[in-house]
Structure 1
Amino acid sequence: MDKFIAKVIGDANHHAANLAAVIAPLSNAVRARINLAIDKVEVYERNDQLARTCWVTISGRRYVFTYNYGSGQIDLKVGSLQGALRSSFDNNTPAGTIAHQTARL
């Protein structure tokens, strides 16, 4: 997970500066919700390279965090990449919104 977050922050600093500041707080909030004894975190790899998609399963419900190239935000979706959009995040997302959305996971 740390390797994935470091890569995403590095990529954001280079290609999506509007996301660089939200990644660590979002990651920390999600990590606070995860119980690794029963929950699961999966990161997407393509051609042995970490991609910009992460799935978390918390209390039996699966969510995906993925980079939305169109909006330039990180989308939180329910279930799959085609799932319902729960929220979107960027550097302008207030800490309270991050806390509220991750508490709902």
Structure 2
Amino acid sequence: MSFPELSLTKAEAAINDAKIQKVTVADKDYGNRTNVPAHMTSSFSIVGDKGVTYTIKQYEFNKVIGMTNVTTKGLSSPVVFSMPITEGNKYEVTYNGRVISTFVVRGH
């Protein structure tokens, strides 16, 4: 007996697990909703279902100022990508145009 609709739900659930874990600025780690040094390029760590490509959208004061694609390696294998930090930044992890998770930092 096969239940393809359950497989789809399982796949969608795996895709929905993606999130940015932290950002590293000048060798120091920062979590979601923290204040960070601004006007620097930073290294973000993201985890998600293996082999899924997500689009990361960077917002500054609710305006998209950058995007990058990142392919994840699994929930226990973070992938590092670089994006700048300015002020009032929000980073959305998206898949097929749908927001999966959000990471917010305030540059100062």
**Comparing both structures, which one devotes a greater share of its residues to helix?**
1
**Comparing both structures, which one devotes a greater share of its residues to strand?**
2
TM surpasses 0.5 = no
Rg: which structure is higher?
Answer: 2
| Larger RCO, structures 1/2 (Cα 8 Å, 6+ apart) | 2
Question: Could you tell me the TM-score, scaled by structure 2's length?
Answer: 0.30
